[in-house]
Amino acid sequence: MFTCMSIRAVHIEVIESLDTSSFINAHRRFMSIRGPIKHIRSNRGTNFVGACKELKVPSNINGCQVQKYLSEQGCTWSFNPPHSSHMGGAWKRMIGLARRILDAMFQRLGSTRLSHETLTTFMAEVAAIINARPLTSVSTDPADPLLLTPSTLLTQKVDTLIALAGDFDTKDLHKRQRRQVQCLANLFWDKWRKQYLPTLQTRSKWTSDQPDTQPGSVVLMRDCSTKRNEWPLGLVTQVFPSKDRKVRRAEIKVSKGDGTKLFLRPVTELVLLVAPEDYGSK
């Protein structure tokens, strides 16, 4: 998995093994699709270090930066220090979350055989799901909701990859490759949505007062019925304080295909993207 350090987009390559040759081929495929790379950061995996040596890239094993990598393309390569698994959080967070979901999926599904075509298509769907995650909102108008995502910055297109029409369940894992891929993609989306959204909500112990949800806030709704790559964006129109003056319910205005609708939701089902006081700083 390649992760862009600027826009946090990911690119997934399927390789046959973890040896140096496979990594170099994957790296070449990545550059052929995405273009030249200015700087690479990675841990000290044996396949990475081996690739660096095979490509005749001089490096300093005591330093953290490779002096020259593919000099004709103007690329440098930096290694994290040994025994520093806590470093590289920007890419390890995406790798860790995606790997946990995939491990849980295939452990539950058992011995599901996937062809190379099915696997590469599924990994492309996984990358599309991860790249469609919301970074922030562009507009505060609920009639014109627009989320800024890594995919938007990567492709310069605001439309996300929509799921194929039809119902796909685990019975489709043993049918045609098309239905098999869509079933796996839906399973990944369901687990991704459930595990990624909580990371956007702070869950610290209530030792201090936290700001209440305010009218005018742009929020994401945790809706279990949303289709793949859809993130329901809404605007808080009203809040309803309880007897202790704490806001626990809010009215949300959401734009749907058939117009604008109002929803009443508990604040625990809302993920704050932009507070009203942040509008001026955007």
Q: Say which DSSP state 234 is in.
A: E
**In whole angstroms, what is the distance from residue 228 CA to residue 136 CA?**
19
**Residue 207 is encoded by which pair of tokens?**
């030792």
**In whole angstroms, what is the distance from residue 95 CA to residue 92 CA?**
5
Q: What is the pLDDT of residue 128?
A: 92
Region of 180 (left: φ > 0; alpha: ψ -120 to 50; beta: rest) is alpha
- Least Cα distance to 184 among 200, 166, 172 occurs for 172
Q: What is the pLDDT of residue 127?
A: 93
Angle (deg, nearest 10), helices 177-196 and 116-131: 30
Residue 138's φ and ψ, nearest 5 degrees, are -100, -40
| Amino acid at the residue 110 | G
Does the predicted TM-score (pTM) go above 0.95? Answer: no
DSSP-assigned states of every residue in 115-182? -HHHHHHHHHHHHHHHHTS--EES---TTS--EE-HHHHHHS-----PPPSS---GGGGGS-HHHHHH
Do 180 and 172 contact (CB within 8 A), yes or no? Answer: yes
Q: What is the pLDDT of residue 67?
A: 42
In a structure prediction context, what are the per-residue pLDDT tens digits for the chain, which is 282 residues long?
888 888 889 999 998 877 667 777 888 899 899 888 878 887 766 556 665 665 555 443 333 333 444 556 677 777 777 666 667 777 778 888 888 898 888 887 776 678 888 889 999 999 999 998 888 777 666 566 677 889 988 888 887 777 776 677 666 666 667 788 888 888 898 888 888 877 776 665 555 677 788 898 888 888 777 778 888 888 899 999 888 888 889 999 987 767 788 889 888 888 888 888 766 544
Q: What is the pLDDT of residue 58?
A: 45
**In whole angstroms, what is the distance from residue 146 CA to residue 142 CA?**
9
Q: What is the pLDDT of residue 60?
A: 36
Q: What is the pLDDT of residue 250?
A: 92
Domain ranges of the chain: 2-89, 107-200, 218-281
